[in-house]
Amino acid sequence: MSSLETLLPLASSLANAKGWDDFTRTLMLAGKSLVPLPAEKRLAETEVEGCESPVWLATSDEQGSLMAYSPSKVIRGVLAVLLEKANELTPQQRSEFDFERYLSRCQLERYLSQSRGNGIKSVIAKLKGI
């Protein structure tokens, strides 16, 4: 396994969760680590279309790292896991990285509804293009 495929701490915690309750608690705790996208960046052009819950995704002005926000605690957790990995990658690596496989290794598909899963695919498509 290459270093690009290594699960980072938040993803590893999810992969090691035992059962639905532990997974949900771990996912919500992951969401607390997400640096929220400032309200002034939550604009139509930063909103991700196709999500069940509103999601905004943009870069910070200072470091160029990705930031996101959703009012949904579950989705904030997923965003934290995605951005933990995405912010470790160069834009080129990010555009080629298999985020769906990465999330699958965290057991996410077992715990998310199909509509939420489809929304996450929209988030991944947008973050690959930033």
Q: Specify the pLDDT at position 109.
A: 82
Which of the two residues, 5 and 118, has the higher pLDDT score? Answer: 118
CA 92/CA 36 separation, integer angstroms: 24
* Mean pLDDT, residues 115-124 taken together: 91
Q: Residue 73 in 3-state DSSP? A: helix
Q: Are 120 and 46 in contact (CB under 8 A)?
A: no
In the predicted model, what is the mean pLDDT of the chain?
Answer: 91
Q: What is the mean predicted confidence (pLDDT) over 84-89? A: 95
Tens digits of residue pLDDT in 10-49: 999 999 999 999 999 999 999 999 988 999 999 999 999 9
Looking at residue 114, its pLDDT comes to: 84
Task: Determine what percent of the chain is predicted with pLDDT higher than 90.
Answer: 75
The torsion of the CA quartet 37, 40, 130, 7, rounded to 10 degrees, works out to 0
What's the whole-model pTM score?
0.92
Rounded CA separation 69/38 (Å): 8
User: Which fold would CATH assign to domain 3-129?
Assistant: Sufe protein. Chain: A (3.90.1010)
Residue 2 predicted with pLDDT over 70 = no
Contact between 26 and 78 under an 8 Å Cβ cutoff? The reply is no
Residue 1 clears pLDDT 60, i.e. is over it: no
